Structure 1
């Protein structure tokens, strides 16, 4: 039985991933930032026993250390890390260069980089060093974004952070392969999650669905299914990959 830490697992892609990993037989640490009630709901949906909750702001380096330590204490070890927690583009985080004052630009850009790039890098370091000390194989999957490739004019820090996360994952794939640790990324397009319901139901909904030739947006469960594959022992040869999950809404060349 393997043990997995899934960050940002209180809802959306993180919740779907935690559920899917538990259905595979993994023991899961459900991480949440602030919404403990939502995280407890995720915990109640998991299959099997001996799962744990861990909470805190991962952008704080000491908190990240505590979360890894509490996960190892609760599960016994960490074999799988899914770096899913992050700040998504939205009204509260947008910072268009032609519309945003400098103070807001500084605050929103810095915060997004801290949460979406630096935090997963620190967690990767902590979990990788634990695996190396145990001389154990493991796997890390980063949840990136289509926005890393197509650009995010309303939230450029988001596009920058996700592009950095993809590149960081490939660097770690090279660095950690000699230790038997695989690192890969997924790059979802627009996903139908709880926080996107209002947008999908509103005036922008049809345009969002029309971005894909399938005429719909993705689901959290589809992203989770890809993460389940990438975290399986059989997927070690996919280390270094960035898997597009966007319904052909953006094709890289």
Structure 2
């Protein structure tokens, strides 16, 4: 098991990719702490993940290799700095420390640049970029103080690597995540902390369906050479790789998971 005994904090764990990452990490032996502002969905996600962890432990017990795994959670609004720190402290306490931080949570609204209200601009930057900074800073300080050689993986996006219409605030926040990831990686390398990012393309998630509910799959992926949407599982696997020791000499990189979409940027 690639994450046996590892303690992981995952933001946006109530649904979609965050829940998928948690599920994949549990399969690999990790204990997880989820934070999200959707209280009811978070509780449902935790219950499902606890059932999964129990089934895995029962299967391992038959082989005599059972490794206890915790599934914990806290409701947190990532646009509020005080709540971020409180949730991080709770995660550290409940799991007895943290080895991995997954900054997955994000929000987006499709609207033309000239129609973006300033408050919405601020909210998207706060959740997608500022929360990543604040949580990473808090966790990395604790890792350094406790001499934990950890891993941080941030959620970027193909939209942080190339512009597009109707998402100026989202694109700017994800571009910031890409450069923040590189800068953190340089500063934290001397402490044995690796920092990377995953940049998904069109992935079949609840957020993507909400954003594109009036468009069909062909319109979403017509420039994607693989000709389909990506899956939550495929995205979670990228996070798993970067978080694991298999990526021990990788830091400061952004792994694009987009079916070749960006590679096809010159297509008319």
The answer to whether the superposition gives a TM-score over 0.5 is yes
Match of 1:234 in 2: 246
Determine the C-alpha separation between the residues in 1 that align with 2:85 and 2:192. Answer: 22
Which of 6, 30, 38 in structure 1 is aligned with 2:10? 6
Match of 1:32 in 2: 36
Alignment deviations for residues 185-240 of structure 1 (CA, whole Å, 9 cap, x no partner): 01001110124346667443221132312211111111100000100022121111
1:128 paired with 2:140, answer yes
Which of 228, 232, 244 in structure 1 is aligned with 2:256? 244
Cα RMSD after superposing both structures? 1.7
Alignment deviations for residues 30-74 of structure 1 (CA, whole Å, 9 cap, x no partner): 1111x2221122212324342101111122111111011110121
Determine the C-alpha separation between the residues in 2 that align with 1:211 and 1:9. Answer: 30
Q: CA deviation at 1:15?
A: 0.5
- Larger deviation, residues 38-47 vs 7-16: 38-47
Match of 1:159 in 2: 171
Contiguous gaps of at least 5 residues in structure 1: none
- 1:237 partner SS: coil
Which of 107, 116, 127 in structure 1 is aligned with 2:128? 116
Contiguous gaps of at least 5 residues in structure 2: 54-68
TM norm structure 2: 0.86
Contact residue 32 and residue 39 of structure 1 kept, 8 A: yes
Contact residue 153 and residue 242 of structure 2 kept, 8 A: yes
Q: CA deviation at 1:153?
A: 2.3
Count of residue correspondences: 244
Match of 2:66 in 1: none
Determine the C-alpha separation between the residues in 1 that align with 2:27 and 2:238. Answer: 14
Determine the C-alpha separation between the residues in 2 that align with 1:201 and 1:156. Answer: 19
- 2:109 partner SS: coil
Determine the C-alpha separation between the residues in 2 that align with 1:210 and 1:136. Answer: 44
Which of 20, 27, 32 in structure 2 is aligned with 1:23? 27
TM norm structure 1: 0.91
Contact residue 109 and residue 211 of structure 2 kept, 8 A: no
- 1:28 partner SS: strand
Determine the C-alpha separation between the residues in 2 that align with 1:201 and 1:166. Answer: 27
Q: CA 1:62–1:203 in 2, change beyond 3 Å: closer, same or farther?
A: closer
Determine the C-alpha separation between the residues in 2 that align with 1:59 and 1:198. Answer: 21
Match of 1:148 in 2: 160
1:57 paired with 2:77, answer yes
Determine the C-alpha separation between the residues in 1 that align with 2:135 and 2:210. Answer: 32
- 2:227 partner SS: coil
Q: In the TM superposition, what are the counterparts of 1:74-93 in structure 2 within 5 Å?
A: 74-90=94-110
